[in-house]
Copies of this chain bind each other. A is one copy, B any other.
Amino acid sequence: MSVLVSGSIALDHVKTQKASQENLLGGSASYAAIAASYFSPVGIVGVVGHDFPSEHLELFKRKKINLEGIEFSSGETFRWSGEYMEDMNDRETLTVALNVLESWQPAVADSQKAATTINLLANSHPLNQHSVIDQLGDGPGFTIADTMDLWIQISRNELESLLRRIDLLVLNDSEAKLMMDTSNVVAAGHRLRAMGPKYVIIKKGEHGAMLFAEGEFFACPAFPLHEVFDPTGAGDSFIGGFAGYLASLGKSSYDFSDLTSAIARGTILASFTCESFSTHALDDLTPGAFEERLAAFRTFCTFA
């Protein structure tokens, strides 16, 4: 019962109004894999360059993540730098260097294929996401894909065909509205479902997330944080935690309440991600701290 996470592995340079740090572990697959590893065994598929610090690989190893799907290239690692304004909802991307990511083709290792029950296609080019599905064949019981505005804009056809091959699509509210050309996020969720996936999760950052299914719906607030230190990777941590929790159930199929439980767990992991640079708070997360926050979160959402 394992999650396979494919997507980007990055070196981030993040500036906030309070601090700045370079060579941070970043990328959609990194956050999602480390979050998923809190709940279940994980394999990762991605590419890194010669400049990728060994400490980041050590972190993956410490989390018992199967690294056999990582390609070690002689080029430079994908790099992203961004700056957060005083309002953490305002982020400016300063530079993006695709580097080794540009020509990367994901290669799932044999040791990863057999174990996979949840296939998490973290944000990446839709053609790479198709490729991972092709390589896994009929193996995994449940396939999740994340996407972003860039692919909606430049790779719409490949994204639409992907929607017919996955069980669950996850994306931000602005992206859902963009893709469905509507200002109503509820309408966007239902219409996205009609394009293929049985489930759609729309992420709304500080406003939580919504799950759309046939005749069912779930809305989950975010965990309330008095202070957000660095929200980079929160969405990736959310879906990684979601996938890891599902895998940990050891089932061959999931019902709606499994998914809502998984959303609550993903929400808690995302809240920790927001409290440090990179995956630092996730790295240090203890069951005590997680359970305490989950218990509080239950009371935050309960009414009679």
Check A301–B227 contact: CB distance below 8 A.
Answer: no
State the CA gap A264–B219 with chains docked (Å).
Answer: 13
Number of interface residues of A (CB under 8 A): 39
Q: Is A228 an interface residue (CB 8 A)?
A: yes
Say yes or no: B303 contacts A301, CB within 8 Å: yes
Q: Within the complex, which residue of B219, B227, B303 is in contact with A187, where a contact is CB–CB below 8 Å?
A: B227
Q: How far apart sit A260 and B303, CA to CA, in the bound complex (Å)?
A: 5
Contacts A206-B185, A303-B263 hold; do A221 and B224 have CB atoms under 8 A apart?
no
A114 to chain B, nearest CB (A): 31
Give Cα A106–Cα B301 distance, bound, in whole angstroms.
38
A131 contacts the other chain (CB 8 A): no
Smallest CB separation, A6 vs chain B (Å):
28
The one of B190, B218, B302 in contact with A226, judged by C-beta atoms closer than 8 angstroms, is: B190
The answer to whether A186 and B304 have CB atoms under 8 Å apart is no
Which of B86, B183, B220, B263 is the one whose CB lies under 8 Å from A86? B183
Within 8 A of B (CB), among A37-94: 86-89
The CA-CA distance from A225 to B222 in the complex, in Å, is: 20
Does B207 lie within 8 Å of A224, measured CB to CB?
no
Q: Given A87-B183, A301-B303, does the pair A224, B220 have CB atoms closer than 8 Å?
A: no
Residues of B within 8 A of A220 (CB): 221, 303
The residue of chain B having its C-beta at the shortest distance from the C-beta of A304 within the complex is B261
Q: Roughly how many angstroms separate A186 CA and B223 CA in the complex, as a whole number?
A: 10
Query: Which residues of B sit under 8 angstroms from A228, Cβ to Cβ?
Result: 184
- The contact of A219 among B185, B263, B301, by CB within 8 Å, is B301
Report if A300 contacts B (CB, 8 A): yes
Q: Indicate if the CB atoms of B210 and A207 lie closer than 8 Å.
A: no
In the complex, whether A196 has a CB less than 8 A from a CB of chain B is no
Q: Which residues of B contact A208 (CB under 8 A)?
A: 207, 219, 221
Contact between B257 and A184 (Cβ–Cβ < 8 Å)?
A: no
Q: List 6 A-B pairs, minimum CB-CB distance, nearest first.
A: A219-B221, A87-B183, A207-B207, A260-B303, A186-B224, A264-B303
Q: A87-B183, A219-B222 are in contact. List 11 more A-B contacts (CB 8 A).
A: A89-B183, A207-B207, A210-B224, A217-B299, A218-B301, A219-B221, A219-B224, A220-B221, A220-B303, A257-B304, A261-B303
A-B contact pairs, 19 of them (CB 8 A): A86-B183, A88-B184, A89-B183, A184-B227, A185-B206, A204-B207, A207-B207, A207-B208, A208-B219, A208-B221, A210-B221, A210-B224, A217-B299, A217-B300, A219-B221, A257-B303, A257-B304, A263-B303, A301-B303
